[in-house]
A = this chain, B = another copy of it.
Amino acid sequence: MTLTERKRRVLEAIIDSYVATAEPVGSRTIARKYRLGVSPATIRNEMADLEELGYLEQPHTSAGRVPSDKGYRYYVDTLMPMKRLTSEEVERIRAFYRQRYREMETIIQQTARVLSESTDYISVVLGPGLSQTGLRFVQMVPLGTDKAVILTATETGFVGHLTVNLPPMSPEERERVIGVINEGLQGQRLEDLGRGLIRRLYRELSAFRSVVEELLGSLQSSLEGAEEGERVYTGGTTNILNQPEFRDVEKVKMVLGVLEQTRLVHELLGPPRSSEITITIGKEIQIKEMQDCSVVTASYRVAGQPIGRIGVLGPKRMRYARAVAVVEQVARALSEALGPG
């Protein structure tokens, strides 16, 4: 199972060359450009072995070799050099977050932007999942005579608002309803909102059953909706058009088509989790339309909690080391930017 040192170097050389040129790699090329100290014939033998082991593929008999999914997998697991970003690049990423954006949405959009600009791949960012963090603050503010805004703030510092309609009632009634509701809502965690509050509200506001129902209903559905239909942001979608393997419009259509479907993007990036950078290659991706691609993802955190995901999406022939470095750095910078938020 474990390859000889020379086989590893040959595999690495092939991947390196293929990633750079998108052309199948021949034994001559390897011998010439990478100083392995052996002749093309020897390399040919090694390549034949590597192909038999499943690390390489041949588009057709007299073409060079191309890495297989398994080849890439071996590369990222054991061959890939740890890449450090230059300090200019780190600085460039930092600079994106230097200006203290006030709105979360802007921060997320900037993140999609910096990711795609730094990698030349497609970037994908999921907004923070709000429902998984507790609510720190809920308050209802009357707005005109027939509406009210419910302000929410999560423990992780995200503020949201939600408009609800109020049924007709007198100003005094309104005052009282809102007062009671606010008392009930104050400082509640979302999970706890249910039973106790509802019972209490019903008791105190039995005349306004419908308000309470609408209110709790929309609060709940908006917070649930915030999870399921969580905003998906993408950047640099046109970058894929620069990749030679996507010169065929049909392939582009498949990939971009997936990105328009929120559900599939969630599946692609996976749930926020604490573990480190994840690399998924070709057929390892469950989504059929994406199996010519690879994706490098990471979670970002607030207060130590992973609450969202970012990633870059490119051809399998991806500059993995660089992608990993960028995604890692951006995830860190984003977490910091949201931290004191």
Q: Which residues of A contact B (CB under 8 A)?
A: 102-103, 136-137, 139, 141, 143-144, 149, 151, 153, 159-164, 218, 222, 235-238, 241-242, 246-247, 249, 252-253, 256-257, 260, 341
Contacts and interface: CB of A to CB of B under 8 A. Distances in A.
A149 B151 contact: yes
A209 B54 CA distance: 69
28 contacts: A102-B163, A102-B164, A102-B222, A103-B162, A103-B222, A136-B144, A137-B144, A141-B141, A141-B151, A143-B153, A144-B153, A149-B151, A151-B161, A159-B161, A159-B163, A160-B161, A161-B161, A236-B260, A237-B237, A237-B256, A238-B253, A238-B260, A241-B253, A241-B256, A246-B249, A247-B249, A249-B249, A252-B252
Specify how many copies of this chain sit in the oligomer.
Answer: 2
A186 to B, nearest CB: 12
A79 B44 CA distance: 68
Nearest to A248: B249
Contacts of A151: 141, 149, 151, 161
Contacts of A102: 162-164, 218, 222
Given A253-B241, A256-B238, A143 B159 contact: yes
A149 B159 contact: yes
A189 to B, nearest CB: 16
A95 B34 CA distance: 63
A36 to B, nearest CB: 37
A61 to B, nearest CB: 29
A252 B162 CA distance: 38
A289 to B, nearest CB: 11
A244 to B, nearest CB: 10
Contacts of A143: 137, 153, 159
A41 to B, nearest CB: 39
Contacts of A256: 237-238, 241
A102 B237 CA distance: 30
Q: Which of A143, A153, A236, A238 has the most CB of B within 10 A?
A: A238
Nearest to A250: B241
Contacts of A159: 143, 149, 161, 163
A229 to B, nearest CB: 8
A148 to B, nearest CB: 10
Contacts of A253: 238, 241-242
A103 B250 CA distance: 35
A129 to B, nearest CB: 17
A163 to B, nearest CB: 5
Contacts of A103: 162-163, 222
